[in-house]
Structures are given as structure tokens and as C-alpha cells.
Amino acid sequence: MKQNNYAIIMAGGVGSRFWPWSRTAQPKQFLDVLGTGKTLIQQTFERITQICPSENILIITNKKYADTIAKQIPQMPGENILSEPKGKNTAPCIAYGAFKIKKQNPDANILVAPSDHIILKEDLFTRVVREGFNYVSQNNVLLTIGIKPHKPETGYGYIQSDAKVIKEDSGKWQLSSVDAFREKPDLETAKSFLASGDYFWNAGIFIWSVDSILASMKQHLPEMYGQFETYEPDFNTGAERKAIETIFDQCQSISIDYGVMEKAKNVVVISTDIGWSDLGSWSALHELSDTDSQNNTSNSNQTLFYNSNNCIVRALDNKVAVIEGLDDYIVVEEEQALLICRKQNEQMIKQFVKDVGDKFGKKYV
């Protein structure tokens, strides 16, 4: 069975919400965000090699990052690092990987995972994915991993299950059908989701057989499916690069959630707590970091806090940082940029990045 297990790691994002540490030239998936000595993409690759042979793992990225991936993961076969000519969101990315895998192994089951997420309970993640592989190999379903919420989070989309258990490992994971996908809620709605027990955070991690996902794309994204199918003979040949450039020039930019998952009727969810975070914000990193008695954290042991609370600071190694009188702030200094922002306003960082690029030049973003 293991030889039928494949994975697609999506690694094309620019991580703008972690600016100014994460930049277009070096997005957060290529950073050692938690100070473990390994970047997020290195951790993701090593985690997935516990489940899939390395030769069965594809990393799909923006062409500007292919060399960085090759350097950070030297054991990765070069032909398994796939470059998108331009970013078109997750549906074309997944279609690209699925068509390549289908031609190589029509019996393949595929795990799809982002490259820049944190999973602290790796043993449980491995068990859940193996269970998922087993289930999708026997059932025509699209399986997604839902994270049991521990707070009324407004920054994530949610998956609503029908609460009818198909399979479970008591206290570890539970498999059920999906009723609906829900957009990021306001606080009161998030509180009601948490209270119901039937809603889970959408982690953007999927498991399916190659036949199931391609059949769903044919049904729900027929134009895109046709564009890839036309060039199917070119995949895994010398003509693939030109074919992909043509396809990505023509195809729609759309996420797999909007394009397929929210429309399909055969979606199931494994709900679990794998110690997951999408690390989508400085606040998310703050939650995972060691803090002092006032809930302050810094990457540097040369930071002093006075009359300050709930702050996250990232300082340059060669500098001393003194923070006084700040409450609930993000302070990040890089060689060419400084960010000081209230945590409650960090959703504005993407706009900050746009404005900085427009006014001062792309080299700063």
C-alpha cells in the first residue's frame, strides 16, 4: 500500500502576513520560525516522509523558489520540484500534481498539505493520515482534516460535520460526513460554532484517491480539467514545461475549496487535535512561543521589557532591544524594514506591504 501513497506539498505562497521577516525573496516556509534549526518546509517534508516514500512527494512552488527548495531539501529528487509559471491559487496546483501522479500510478492516493504549517503532535498526524489513506483507497470520497477548535477563532474557515460518526479512535480522531464549509465567522458566530461541537477549523489538508479528485474536478471545474487533460500526454516528458506554461496562462485562478470542496457531495472530515497552526499571523506565532510573566516574547535574549504586556518582538541578533510601555504590540526589525503594530490591527499588514511596495519599491517587500 505504501507505494501507492503520494503527497503534494504546496509551497508557492509569499507569507505577506509575516512581513517584514517573511519577504517575497524568502517567504515564511523557508524560515526557521520556531527556532528549531529547521525551516517550516523542511519540517513538513520530514513529517510526510514518515508516510510516503520521498520519491512519491511532489513540491509545487513558484518558479523563483525552486532553487531554494533544492538547497533546503537536497534529498528531494530534482524532477519532483515542480515550478508554476504563475500563481493561480490551489486548484490548478493540485490539478498539476494529480495529473502527473495519475500518469505515473493510476492507483495512487494523495495527501495534499501546505508547506508552512505547524503540527506539534506528529505521531497522531501520521496515524490520522494513514487512516485517511486507507479509507480513500476503498471509498470514493474527498477527505479533509478538521481541527478541533479550542477557542472561538475568527481567523479560520470552518467545516461543519453532520455529527454521524463513520469511524473513530476514541479521543484521537473521528470520521464523519461534511454538511458544509463555513467562511471565517464573526466572534459571536465563532462562539456558537465552538459550543455546538460539530464545527472544525479548516486546515487545508486533504486526502483522496487520484481518481476521486480528478473526477470531482471534471464535474465541478470542467474547463480547467479539460485544459489539463488536453496536455496529459506531455506530462512526465520533455514537453511538460511548455504544456504547463500554456495551461497556467489560460486556466482560472481559484482555490480548491471554492472550486471543488464546497460543491462536492462526497466530502468527509477526520476531526482531530494534531497540535496544528497555520502560523498565519504574528499572534499565532506568539501563542506557540515561550513567554515571560507578562506574556511577552522575543526571539532574542537581549530584549528587556518594562511595563509591557502581551508583546511579540523580533530583534536583530546584533542589537539590544528595550521595550517600554507597550501593551499587545508586534515589533519586528529587519535590515531594511521596521514594523510596530497593534496585534488587534495585524490584519492590516497585507495592506502595509502593498503600500510599502507602491511607495518605496519592491525591494522592501
Q: What is the pLDDT of residues 187-234, one digit of tens each?
A: 999 999 999 999 999 999 999 999 999 999 999 999 999 999 999 999
C-alpha–C-alpha distance, residues 22 and 34, integer Å: 13
Secondary structure (DSSP) of 187-241: HHHHHHHHHHS-EEEEEEEEEEEHHHHHHHHHHHSHHHHHHHHHTGGGTTSTTHH
Write down all domains in the chain, each with its CATH number in brackets: 5-277 (3.90.550.10), 290-364 (no CATH)
Q: How many CB atoms lie within 10 A of CB 237?
A: 10
Q: Is 333 exposed, middle or buried (0-12, 13-18, 19+ CB in 10 A)?
A: middle
How is residue 92 written as a grid cell? 490548478
CA atoms within 13 A on the CB side of 346: 23
Sheet strands (E) in the chain:
5-10, 57-62, 81-84, 109-114, 118-119, 142-147, 158-169, 173-182, 199-209, 267-272, 276-277, 297-298, 303-306, 312-314, 321-324, 329-334, 337-342
C-alpha–C-alpha distance, residues 216 and 98, integer Å: 12
C-alpha–C-alpha distance, residues 108 and 114, integer Å: 19
C-alpha–C-alpha distance, residues 334 and 341, integer Å: 15
- One-letter amino acid at 292 equals D
- One-letter amino acid at 207 equals I
Residues 6 or more apart whose CB falls under 8 angstroms from that of 67 comprise none
For residue 2, what pLDDT is reported?
Answer: 65
For residue 276, what pLDDT is reported?
Answer: 96
Q: Give which of 21, 91, 101 is closest to 58, Cα–Cα.
A: 101
pTM above 0.85, yes or no: yes
For residue 1, what pLDDT is reported?
Answer: 53
For residue 155, what pLDDT is reported?
Answer: 86
C-alpha–C-alpha distance, residues 222 and 112, integer Å: 21
In Å, the largest CA–CA distance within the chain is 65
Strand partners, 158: 182, 201
Task: Give how far Cα 109 sits from Cα of 135, 186, 258, Å.
Answer: 10, 36, 22
Mean pLDDT of each 10-residue bin along the chain, 365 residues long:
89 90 94 93 97 96 94 95 94 98 97 97 97 97 96 92 89 94 93 94 97 98 98 95 96 96 96 94 93 96 97 94 98 96 95 97 94
Task: Give how far Cα 135 sits from Cα of 51, 61, 113, 175, 302, Å.
Answer: 15, 28, 18, 10, 51
C-alpha–C-alpha distance, residues 241 and 231, integer Å: 11
CA quadruple 257, 258, 262, 263: dihedral positive or negative?
Answer: negative
